[in-house]
Amino acid sequence: MEITKVKSKSKINIGLDVISKRDDGYHNIKTIMHELNLFDEMEFSTDAQGFEIISDLNIKKEDNLIYKAYRGFCDYVGEDLNLKVRLNKLLPMGAGIAGGTFNGAETIKYLNKAYGYNMKLDELISFSKKIGADFPYCLTGGKCLAEGIGEILTHVNYSDPYVLLINPGYEVSTKEVYENLNLSESRVDFDKILEALQNKNISELSHYLKNNMEDYVFKKHKELDIIKDRMVKFGGASAMSGSGPTIFGIFCDRDLLMDAYKYFKDRYKNVYLGGNYE
């Protein structure tokens, strides 16, 4: 029995603009997706009768994005496949960093290869976007400007900054946040955000960086605004990732990063360095 081990990544949204609601219930968005070097550990094999998952997660199978990805793949190919998954969940859940969707994306990649379907990325994206809007990016990875519901991806280039993440330890309902958004808010200038990232200009990045989901979430969870403000005072550009509640800071100075890390590490359990600092 061959076991495949993978590191299932995560992401932050460097700016997030929810533009409009679509007739299909999804929302049109614009965001820069940035892959993090923070991951869950997964093991896959075909040594199962149908679908089997081993993990400490206390959620129903039907709500698990790994199972949803498995079911979506099987429905697409018209065949029920055998799959055993072992998940070591290291990332916080419901955190706005797409940990669960990356788990699902790795499941699709494994099934595609293990059973010899060898579908191209475009085909995987075409059916997986029906499972969840983050699947196209999570199958692609890297640094992308995402538009539409998240399926229109354009690779962007900039040097990896230092990234610090603070997760307060509770989940936020993405559905609730979308239902309470003020879609008349001013647009986010991603040209300026990308230019600031490329120039490593934290002051400019801090000026333009905005997630227009923050207003609703911060009203319910005032500590998130305090975390963001403190991150800025340490010299970072800061925003909420996705629908929250994770707050991230982007730094170009390692000393400032570590000062902030030590401060938050003393106060919060879930504090992460999310970049490649070798």
DSSP conformation letters of 109-159: HHHHHHTT----HHHHHHHHTTT-TTHHHHHH-SEEEEEETTTEEEE---P
> Domain limits at 40?
4-155
Q: Which of 89, 123, 155 is the last residue of a domain?
A: 155
Tell me how many domains the chain contains.
2
- 23 with 112, same domain: the answer is yes
- 134 with 240, same domain: the answer is no
- 174 with 236, same domain: the answer is yes
- 117 with 215, same domain: the answer is no
At 106, which CATH number? 3.30.230.10
- 31 with 131, same domain: the answer is yes
Q: What percentage of the chain's residues is helix, strand, coil (to nearest 5)?
A: 35, 30, 35
- 17 with 145, same domain: the answer is yes
In terms of Cβ atoms closer than 10 Å to its own Cβ (0-12, 13-18, 19+), residue 45 is middle
The reply to whether 118 falls in a domain is yes
- Strand 51-54 versus strand 83-88 pairing type: parallel
Residues classed as catalytic: 11, 134
pLDDT tens for each residue of 87-126: 999 999 989 999 999 999 999 999 999 999 999 999 999 9
- 8 with 141, same domain: the answer is yes
Q: Which of 104, 133, 155 is the last residue of a domain?
A: 155
- 121 with 22, same domain: the answer is yes
- State the pLDDT confidence band at 198, using cuts at 50, 70 and 90: very high
Give the number of other Cβ atoms within 10 Å of residue 257's Cβ. 23
pLDDT for res 276: 59
Q: What is the pTM of this model?
A: 0.95
Please provide residue 265's backbone torsions phi and psi, each rounded to the nearest 5 degrees. Answer: -65, -30
Give mean pLDDT, residues 27-35: 97
- 147 with 198, same domain: the answer is no
The reply to whether 131 falls in a domain is yes
pLDDT tens for each residue of 164-180: 999 999 999 999 999 99
* Length in residues, the chain: 278
In terms of Cβ atoms closer than 10 Å to its own Cβ (0-12, 13-18, 19+), residue 227 is buried
